[in-house]
Amino acid sequence: MSAPPRTTRPPTTPRGPVGPDPDRLARLLTQVWFEVRSGRRPFAQLAPLVAPALRRRLLAQLPRGPWTRPPPVARIHRVISASPSTLAHEASVLVEQDGRITAVAVRLERHHGAWRAVELTAPEAGLTPLVTASHPTYTRPRDAFDEVLEEA
C-alpha cells in the first residue's frame, strides 16, 4: 500500500507585525504629548507607550510651575510617514498651535509585538535625537525597551 500523496503548501512570505495603524498611533502620541505639556492630561497616560530613555527625556521637558495663562490647544494638522522596515515606522506629525504649525518627529519600533515610541521630539526643541536600535530582519536585538529603569 502506498502512502497518500503529500500536499505541499506554497511558501509563505513573512508578514509584518499586526496591530494598530502606526500613523494613527503617531498622531495620538503627539496629541497626548501636547496635552501632557499643557497640563490637560497626566504623564502616566503617555509613559507606557514610550521607551525608558525617551520617558526620562520627556519628563525633563515638562514645564515647571503653574501656567500664567491657559496654554493654547494643539490640533494635529497632518501625518507624513515612512516605514524603513516592518519593525520600525517614522512619522513627521504636523501640529497647529496658536496659529503656527510645527513638526514633531516620531519613531515607533516593535517591542514584543506592539508599537512603542523611541523618539518623539520637535526639531526646534534643540535636542539631540536618541540612539535607537533598528531591527535587522533575522533577529530582534536588544532595544530601548530592554533597558532596566533605575528607580531612585
Q: Is the pLDDT of residue 128 over 90?
A: no
- The reply to whether 94 falls in a domain is yes
The pLDDT value given to residue 97: 85
- The reply to whether 35 falls in a domain is yes
Instruction: State how many domains the chain has.
Output: 1
- The reply to whether 134 falls in a domain is no
- The reply to whether 107 falls in a domain is yes
Enclosing domain of residue 80? 22-62+74-125
pTM of the model: 0.69
Q: Is the pLDDT of residue 5 over 80?
A: no
- The reply to whether 4 falls in a domain is no
- The reply to whether 9 falls in a domain is no
Give the single-character DSSP code of 104.
E
- The reply to whether 150 falls in a domain is no
**Are the beta carbons of 117 and 54 closer than 8 angstroms?**
yes
C-alpha triplet 58, 61, 66: angle, nearest 5°: 125
Dihedrals phi, psi of 151, to nearest 5 degrees: -90, 130
Would you tell me the crossing angle of helices 52-61 and 22-37 to the nearest 10 degrees?
30
Arithmetic mean of pLDDT, 108-135: 72
Task: Quote the CA–CA distance of 116 and 113 in Å, as a whole number.
Answer: 10
- Give the CATH number for residue 118: 3.10.450
The pLDDT value given to residue 151: 41
- The reply to whether 8 falls in a domain is no
Task: Quote the CA–CA distance of 28 and 104 in Å, as a whole number.
Answer: 12
